[in-house]
């Protein structure tokens, strides 16, 4: 039986049960993600800053530094943060309950011991009341069971997103994990520039410089509980009236939403998720006049 279809790989992820761990791990991934942002060569739409689902957790993949390559990987199976260099050097930091301030200090110390000198902007992104990493003693919880559950869910859905991505021959992002919003995402593009967004900041201007349809998964924050989402940007008139099943249109979010529990409890999580991804894409692409014949397999 394929991994994506196994029910034990779609664990319960009720946000209330692991909210403190969620908040702490979110900030830990931001520290590692900002290191990738500094070391990786720039790519359009900020694709160079993301993390990727790995066989053990989340990884930066290989990042260039001087004459070497460096990788940092969250291991949510053995609960370690692994540091690897292409010269064979390795280090590991146990993932246990510790403050964001201590985590930041130890990560930077390990990198320095490996000869990697890097400075990052220490103010967190996309979180309420951000506390600079070096001062954050508020967030300090790590529940290994729920960290592993979150990874197992990501590992089960990532191949489904990858299969959906493979149906498209136009410009498309990787299936990657944004540490700012703490979500797995894949974005398709029509090939046409998008109208400028009034008042948009640098990040938003670059992210939405071209017409796109993006789908992904929030483990919690965003919808208030774990859920899949899909949106078209810019949204064509009438999108909110398009019937999609499974899922529904959320006027509050201006996006299509499919609760995670609806997927994991379905007879076929893979089919349920693929149907949501395909139907919400078709709703946006048809109304926005995308050249689907040339963009799809």
pLDDT of residue 27: 98
pLDDT of residue 199: 83
Residue listed under structure tokens 């089919």: 271
Q: For residues 239 and 247, what is the distance between their CA atoms, to the nearest angstrom?
A: 14
Q: For residues 81 and 46, what is the distance between their CA atoms, to the nearest angstrom?
A: 24
Distances (CA, A) of 70 to 21, 243, 276: 27, 46, 37
Residues 164, 7 contacting (CB under 8 angstroms): no
pLDDT of residue 222: 72
Q: Helices then strands (H, E): number in the chain?
A: 7, 12
Neighbours of 115 (CB within 10 A): 13
CB within 8 Å of 282: residues ≥ 6 apart = none
Predicted model pTM: 0.94
CA 92 to the chain's CA centroid: 23
Q: Which residues, given as ranges, of the chain have pLDDT below 70?
A: 1-8
pLDDT of residue 235: 96
pLDDT digits (tens, 9 = 90+) for 194-211: 998 888 888 888 888 999
Query: Facing residues of 255 across strands?
Result: 250
Mapped onto helix, strand or coil, the DSSP state of residue 91 is strand
**Mean pLDDT for the chain?**
95
Residue listed under structure tokens 């510790």: 98
| Annotated domain spans of the chain | 14-135, 152-295
pLDDT of residue 173: 97
The percent of residues in the chain predicted with pLDDT above 70, rounded, is 97
pLDDT digits (tens, 9 = 90+) for 46-79: 999 999 999 999 999 999 999 999 999 999 999 9
């Amino acid at each position: 039986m394929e991994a994506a279809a196994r029910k034990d790989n779609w664990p319960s992820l009720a946000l209330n049960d692991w909210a403190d761990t969620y908040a702490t791990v979110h900030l830990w991934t931001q520290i590692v993600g900002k290191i990738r942002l500094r070391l990786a060569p720039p790519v359009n739409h900020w694709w160079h800053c993301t993390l990727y689902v790995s066989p053990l957790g989340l990884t930066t993949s290989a990042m260039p530094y001087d004459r070497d390559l460096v990788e940092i990987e969250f291991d949510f199976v053995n609960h370690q943060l692994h540091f690897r260099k292409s010269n064979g050097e390795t280090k590991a930091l146990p993932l246990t309950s510790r403050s964001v301030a201590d985590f930041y200090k130890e990560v930077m110390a390990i990198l320095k011991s490996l000869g990697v000198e890097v400075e990052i902007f220490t103010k967190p992104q996309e979180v309420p009341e951000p506390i600079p990493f070096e001062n954050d003693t508020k967030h300090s919880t790590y529940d290994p069971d729920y960290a592993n559950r979150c990874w197992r869910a990501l590992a089960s859905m990532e191949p489904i997103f990858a299969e959906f991505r493979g149906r498209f021959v136009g410009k498309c992002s990787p299936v990657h994990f944004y540490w700012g919003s703490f979500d797995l995402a894949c974005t398709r593009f029509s090939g046409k520039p998008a109208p400028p967004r009034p008042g948009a900041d640098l990040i938003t201007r670059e992210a939405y410089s071209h017409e796109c349809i993006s789908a992904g998964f929030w483990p919690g924050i965003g919808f208030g509980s774990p859920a899949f989402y899909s949106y078209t940007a810019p949204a064509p008139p009438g999108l909110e009236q398009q019937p999609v099943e499974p899922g529904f249109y959320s006027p509050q979010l201006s996006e299509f939403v499919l609760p995670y529990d609806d997927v994991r409890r379905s007879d076929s999580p893979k089919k349920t998720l693929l149907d949501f991804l395909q139907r919400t894409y078709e709703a946006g692409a048809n109304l926005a006049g995308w050249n689907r014949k040339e963009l799809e397999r």
